[in-house]
Structure 1
Amino acid sequence: MTNTTPFPRPVRHHSLFKRAALTACLLTIAPLSMAATLRIDNGAEPGTLDPQKTSGVWETRIVRELFETLVSQDATGELVAGLASRWDLSDDGLTWTFELRDDAQWSDGEPITAGDAVFSLRRLLRPETTAHNANLYYPIENARAINAGEAAPETLGARALDDHHLEIQLERPTAWFLQAIAMPEAAPLPEHVLREQDERWVIPGRTVVSGAFTLSEWSPQDHITLEKNPQFYAADDVALDEAIFYPLEEASAALNRFRTGALDISYTSVPGGRFEQLRRELGETLRVNPMVAEYFYMFNLRPESPLSDIRVREALNLATRREVITDQLLGMGQTPSYWLVPRVTAGGAEGALPTAQMAMDERMARARELMQAAGFGPNNPLTLTLRYNTLEDHKKIAVALAAMWKPLGVDVALINTEAASHYAAIREGDFQLARYGMVATIDDPYDFLGSYTTGGSSALSSGYHNADYDRLVEQSSETIDPSARAELLTRAQQHLLDDYALLPLYDYVNTALVSERVHGWAPTPMDVHPLRYISLEE
């Protein structure tokens, strides 16, 4: 959600009634089916369905359906009431108070309480949880210290006033905090279950959930089945009986299944080389829209890595022909990127690689000079390993980059693994160059820039550290005035780019195949499509 005020306005009852009416209209427009199964190609096999331990969009799509958040999102991506029926923000922007709905209950019939929300936030910030987006919750009092292992979880600025009222105390006003509360990792968790079993608690048929669907079946590398949750507070408005997710990583296989009617929705990327043909053949079932997401290559910057040399990183960036990748290899409207924060992101962050405006001949000459100064060239090649996860277009891009860098005396060895193994290797720092796709959790530059601050997920994976950069990102988070904040965000991003800390390639567009019989699926910049608003026409 784009905020136009210094911090989100408290939601009042009349606003909720209007949004509820809009949702009701969406549901009544769509023809409902008495028995409906939605079949989805989800792109990859989840490594986990614990909402606080996921990191991939293919995991989050499922987790969103299992665990309802205090603040939810409607079919258009707008924030609406979830487990909380209303919320208020103090005049100083530091204290949020959430009122939980009376009819909120877990799938085992136990009531959902403010204590569950407190338990969840404390667990989220525990260092042993290793939550991917823990830094988004640092505005909460003592959150950073808890996540660093320097304070007890019980000191977190979150407390249950009673079973139905949660209070969260912030250290500073934060424009995007309500968006963070709407993320799956912040969903209340069943304390009465997890205090007995905190490791293997996400089990088909036994997982206690709060969302519109329950976990019915999980057959690894084959499918995951969700069934409608009769205990969900809005179960009467959920049209689907079940949803089956398939972990298809090959675009051609997903496309073939979609064409035969075996899939209703496919999220595996449409093959770039066939995009125009498929747009003609598939018509409106091929959905394309801008997305708050960035495709880039992560550098391992640790001292033992050859990419710790800024001259090598700059040279690789200089020799990369981004327009060839976006216009010739892919051709789906992606924007060639010389930055980390996608240009469609709210918040006004600018900045670009220092060499972005150079002509290609000038760039290649400069790149050769840099590589020679670093001790490498055609007669003394630099061998690099490049990791990418299984997908046809990822392979095409990796092969193209290797060819672009060959004139510099760079020999690239490609390593292809399925998504779970790929991202596990990145988290462990087991790479030199690694393909990375960052899909926004919140529509704010902090989501991207914060990941490269000390302790952020990208910083931990890559080994990046810049104290001045950390300071600017921190100041931007504390700044209320939108124009002043945009200036700080721009300065921060420029620091990151001046360090050549990554190799950006393009701003994503979202491509999805959506059957004509699917109703209630709407394109959104954050690529969120709650199944509770979807129905099928038989």
Structure 2
Amino acid sequence: MGKRLICLLLCLCLLLPAVGCGYQKDGELVCPLPGAVSSLDPQTASGTAARLVIGSLFEGLCRLDENGEAVPGVAERWECDSTQMEYTFHLRKNASWSDGTPVTADDFRFAIERCLNPATASPNADDLFLIQGARAIYNGEADLSSLGVAAEDDRTLVIRLERASSDFPAMTAALHYMPCNRAYFQESQGHYGLSSQYLLTNGPFALASIYAWQTDPGEREITLVRSETYRGEERVLPATLTYQMDYDNAVDQDPVSALTQGLADVLVLSQEQARQAEEGGCQVLALEDAVTGLLLNPQAAGLESPALREIFLKTLDRQSLLDRRGLEDPEEAQGVMPACVVCGGQPYYADGAWMVPQQDDAVVNGLSSLLDSLELEEMPSITVLCPDDQASIDVANGLLISWNEKLGNAFNIQPMPLRQLQSQVASGDYEAALYPLRAGGVTPYSVLQSFQSTASPALLEDPAYDQAFHTLTFDLSSYRSLEQQLLEEYVFYPLYRDRTYYGLSKNVRGITVSPDQQIDFTQALQK
């Protein structure tokens, strides 16, 4: 009998690993942010840090799950007509703002209206141009009466598109589609989203108080609590969630130790760090949402010329770099789009397209005349930043070997923790980097947007690219055309498809992540 009881208890512990083995609700979670937050207005905010906080405070029509599929958010269900050009979203009846007032279809229409007003300076307005009339309204060629967004009643929102799109529900998970209460926004008189005092939210977490957003140097953090008015599909389990902008240096320098010591509950890790974290008893989540490649900074001294950047990229020995990856056989990137990106319901590169600069050592034949025209005596002696794991260092050294053999100059690498590398790229203080380009979503738009001048970090800043991006028609042909234009800028050399690894504290379970770089804490349990 005793043995049977022990076996039963072990089975229950396996079936219910969180609650049965000491994990409880009402946890107090901590998430260090990869940068500062200056605005929590979903229609104007940019950058990964703001995206994470807004994802906890707000909820759009849809969310993305860990597989990149659109799942219910405020919309409990939706359907499209036979043309896939008209979508009807049905809002759940108990959706509420943090002050208890109902979230309505007009709140979503108003959010879209705000983005289409150029004065709002929304960095993400362009993908709204898929909506009927949106481009003309943004360009001042039509008024809001022609917008294909109708609040048929408080709980029914109809959106008509310019062209068929099976991907549209996933697009509504983006920040700028999140609702905005018209009356509250107008009462905020220009302060909306700039402090705890001027924010009305509808997500699973709410600001702890009007002092929840601390901005004093060395103490910057945003403290959230479980929302008392949120009524999603599942009850929110954690009691508090603190996003830190200032935190212990160990988080950057030794993230695995930070997780095992409980300094943070979730951190992005390199592949080698993920292996170490698992060996230390931490849970690791992985998303196939990145392409790692060589990023050149077109704003850096000596790298302003596309022709010079072309020489750097076309003299690389691609196969040698792939062979150096080491940890496991890498899947060679076909272009800038990660594996999670789809177009028309199909993987983006399902047609076998190859969008990578081809090796051509003959480009060095024109090097002397190019240097003369640029008034340079030799190729710039650039430093390549790279993550400090051995596999990344090996790949970065492979870059130097190719250049040393063919370009006749000395080049350097500078290994550093992944979070520090991302911060340095975001600041613009780099010449080149072995950089994991993350999708930020599951549509080609979300990747190509990374190279807009308004993106954070700004990786390109080219008016011609911005103009072409502004004219996207959201079909495969237009995406490919813009991708080709990006290819000819020679700022990013895709090497291999990569994963983003999230390590969880040993004391936490139930956190999930999605390709739009959101972290879902709602079902997290803590020891």
- Residue in structure 1 matched with residue 336 of structure 2 by the alignment: 340
Task: Show the 5 A alignment for 1:136-535.
Answer: 136-153=127-144, 155-197=146-188, 198-204=190-196, 207-216=199-208, 217-220=212-215, 222-234=220-232, 237-247=235-245, 251-267=252-268, 269-270=269-270, 275=273, 278=276, 281-282=279-280, 285-292=283-290, 297=295, 300=298, 309-320=305-316, 331=327, 335=331, 337=333, 339-346=335-342, 347-349=347-349, 350-352=352-354, 355-356=357-358, 358=359, 363=360, 365-375=361-371, 380-383=377-380, 405=403, 408=407, 423=426, 438-449=437-448, 461-465=461-465, 474=473, 477-478=474-475, 485=476, 493-494=483-484, 496-497=486-487, 500=490, 502-522=492-512, 524-535=514-525
Paired with 2:275 and 2:448, the residues of 1 have a C-alpha distance of 37
Q: Is the 8 A contact 1:57 1:439 kept in 2?
A: no
Q: Secondary structure at the match of 2:371?
A: coil
Q: Are the aligned partners of 2:132 and 2:161 in contact in 1 as well (CA < 8 Å)?
A: yes
- Classify the secondary structure of the residue corresponding to 1:503: strand
Flag the 1:412–1:462 CA change in 2: closer, same or farther, 3 A: farther
Task: Give aligned pairs, total.
Answer: 485
- Supply the AA of the counterpart residue of 2:231: Y
Task: Indicate conservation of the 8 Å contact 2:133/2:148, yes or no.
Answer: yes
Q: Note the C-alpha offset of 1:412.
A: 7.9
> Residue 40 in 1 paired to residue 42 in 2?
no
Q: Are the counterparts in 1 of residues 171 and 443 from structure 2 also a CA contact under 8 Å? A: no
**Would you say the 8 A contact 1:459–1:465 is kept in 2?**
no
- Matched with 2:3 is none
1:119 aligns with 2:110: yes
Question: Partners of 2:114 and 2:128 in 1: how far apart?
Answer: 12
Give the deviation of 1:433 after TM superposition: 6.5
Amino acid at match of 2:510: G
- Tell me how far 1:335 sits from its aligned partner: 4.7
Give 1:107 deviation, angstroms.
0.4
Quickly say closer, same or farther: Cα 1:150–1:29, change in 2 above 3 A.
Answer: farther
CA apart distance, 1:320: 4.0
Give per-residue Cα distances to partners, 1:397-444, cap 9 Å, x unaligned: 88986786566367889999996796476xxxx998688754324313
Q: Please, which of 74, 90, 94 is the counterpart of residue 99 of structure 1?
A: 90
Contact 1:73 1:530 in 2 (8 A): no
Whether the 8 Å contact between 1:107 and 1:232 is mirrored in structure 2 is yes
**Displacement after TM superposition at 1:178 (Å):** 0.9
CA contact (8 A) 1:213 1:229 kept: yes
**Aligned equivalents of 1:493, 1:418: Cα separation in 2:** 25
CA RMSD of aligned residues (A): 4.4
* 2:74 counterpart (72, 77, 83): 83
Unaligned runs of 5+ in 1: 1-26, 479-484
Letter in 1 for 2:348: G
Change (3 A) 1:161 1:277: closer
What fraction of aligned residue pairs are identical, expressed as a percent?
Answer: 22
Question: CA offsets per residue over residues 27-77 of structure 1, 9 Å max, x none?
Answer: 987426353111223333234322222332232121111011112344665
Counterpart of 1:372, as a letter, is S
Indicate if the aligned counterparts of 2:68 and 2:442 stay in contact, CA closer than 8 A.
no
User: Does the residue aligned with 2:196 lie in a helix, a strand or coil?
Assistant: coil
Judge conservation of contact 2:291–2:333 (CA < 8 Å) in 1: no
Post-superposition Cα deviations, 1:368-402, rounded to whole Å, max 9, x if no partner, equal 224224126998124488897x9767x97889867
CA displacement at 1:240 relative to structure 2: 0.6
Deviation at 1:186, TM superposition (A): 0.5
Residue type of the partner of 1:218?
A: W
What letter is aligned with 1:243? L
Cα-to-partner distance string for 1:337-371 (whole Å, 9 max, x where unaligned): 46211245333324435654x4xxxx5x4342242
Tell me the secondary structure at the aligned position of residue 35 of structure 2: coil
User: 3-state DSSP class of the match of 2:151?
Assistant: strand
The amino acid that maps onto 2:237 is A
* Partner Cα separation in structure 1 for residue 470 and residue 198 of structure 2: 43
* Structure-2 change in CA distance of 1:465 and 1:526 (3 Å): closer
Q: CA deviation at 1:513?
A: 1.1
Q: CA deviation at 1:206?
A: 5.0
Residue 383 and residue 96 in structure 1: after superposition, are their counterparts in 2 closer, same or farther (change >3 A)? same
Where 2:163 maps in the other structure, the secondary structure is: coil
Aligned to 1:110: 101
Cα distance change of structure 1 residues 328 and 261 upon mapping to structure 2, 3 Å threshold: farther
| Residues 317 and 218 of structure 1: CA distance in aligned 2, closer, same or farther (over 3 Å) | same
CA distance in 2, matches of 1:237, 1:312: 55
Judge which range, 499-508 or 135-144, deviates more.
Answer: 499-508
Rounded Cα–Cα distance in structure 1 between residues aligned with 2:112 and 2:266: 33
- Separation in 2, partners of 1:450, 1:63: 19
Supply the distance in 1 between the matched residues of 2:170 and 2:286 (Cα, whole angstroms). 24
Equivalent-residue separation in structure 1 for 2:79 and 2:314 (angstroms): 49
Per-residue CA deviation, residues 97-119 of structure 1 (Å, 9 max, x unaligned), is 22222211110112211111111
**Larger helix proportion, structure 1 or 2?**
1
Q: 1-side partners of 2:275 and 2:18: how far apart? A: 30
Q: 1:370 to 1:265 in 2, by over 3 A?
A: same
Report the alpha carbon displacement of residue 501 of structure 1 after superposing the two structures with TM.
5.7
2:56 matches 1:60: no
CA drift of 1:188 comes to 0.6
Cα displacement (A) at 1:132: 2.9
Alpha-carbon separation, structure 1, partners of 2:34 and 2:326: 18
d(CA) in 2 for partners of 1:293 and 1:392?
18
Q: Tell me whether 70-79 or 82-91 shows the greater mean CA deviation.
A: 70-79
- Greater shift, 126-135 or 62-71, is seen at 126-135
Question: Distance in 1 between the 2:337 and 2:67 partners?
Answer: 22
In the aligned structure 2, how far is the partner of 1:138 from the partner of 1:386? 40
SS at match of 1:88: strand
Maintained 8 Å contact 1:127/1:146: no
Residue 446 of structure 1: how far off its partner (Å): 3.9
Deviations 1:138-178 (Å, cap 9, x if unpaired)? Answer: 11122223334444455422122222222212111122111
Give the direction of change, closer, same or farther, for the CA distance of 1:243–1:83 in structure 2 (3 Å limit). Answer: same
Which amino acid is 2:258 matched to? R
Give 1:241 shift: 0.6
Contact 1:287 1:513 in 2 (8 A): yes
What CA distance in whole angstroms lies between the structure 2 residues aligned with 1:370 and 1:337? 28
User: Are 2:39 and 2:193, in contact at CA under 8 Å, matched by a contact in 1?
Assistant: no
